[in-house]
Amino acid sequence: MSRTLSPRAALIVVDVQPDFMPGGALACHEGDAVVPGIDRLLRSRTFSHVVATQDWHPRGHISFASSHPGRAPFERIVLYGQPQTLWPDHCVQDTPGAELHRGIDWSALDAVIRKGSDPTVDSYSGFRENHDQAGARPSTGLAGWLRERGVDEVLVCGLARDVCVLWTAQDAVELGFHVSVLWDLSRPVTPAGDEATRAALQVGGIGIVESARLAI
């Protein structure tokens, strides 16, 4: 059965950028597979509001393994009292790998939230940065932007399912939105974590939806 969306629902497209595609600096498993479906969804004008997030790191960002001598990509450290994965250099500001993917017609976008631009703070969620030196998670302003437009439900898709999509969905619930993840329009860094991601979504009261069920 098709699902008809409320006019108070928004779509959040997370980090669909070349550096997360196969062959990119931080490739997600089958990351390019989400592009046609997201393009079709945006062209359908199904959603009253569409927001994209964009990883937008300065060179030498604290999350890059290259910023920590002797460390390798995907090692984990403690940063500001929290676990931090060290990533390959990726989505560096004003580089081709940081662009929104050109295989998608972005003309339906209402806003772009650039995240990770503070060189000392990582950022996964579209709603809040990761913990900073003071132990806070600074807001990106997205929640207020959505509320000003009467949005009370968000559907989340994009990359990576087990990191930025998951954190965005979890923060959205915590901030009072009704939330679903479009599972087929997201991909993980590695599929080994899919079971844990599903469990985390379910524990958080986050719906898991296939885009084919949306009334387009």
Number of Cβ within a 10 Å radius of residue 16? 28
What are the two backbone dihedrals, phi and then psi, of residue 189, each rounded to the nearest 5 degrees? -60, -45
Residue 136: asked if its preceding bond is cis (omega within 30°), the reply is no
Looking at 15, 122, 162, 171, which residue is catalytic?
A: 15
Give 65's DSSP letter: G
- On whether the CB atoms of residues 116 and 93 are closer than 8 A, the answer is no
Catalytic residue check, 89: no
- Burial class from Cβ neighbours inside 10 Å (0-12, 13-18, 19+) for residue 139 reads middle
Looking at 28, 91, 157, 164, which residue is catalytic?
A: 164
- Burial class from Cβ neighbours inside 10 Å (0-12, 13-18, 19+) for residue 1 reads exposed
Catalytic residue check, 157: no
Looking at 115, 157, 162, 171, which residue is catalytic?
A: 115
| Catalytic residue annotation | 15, 115, 164
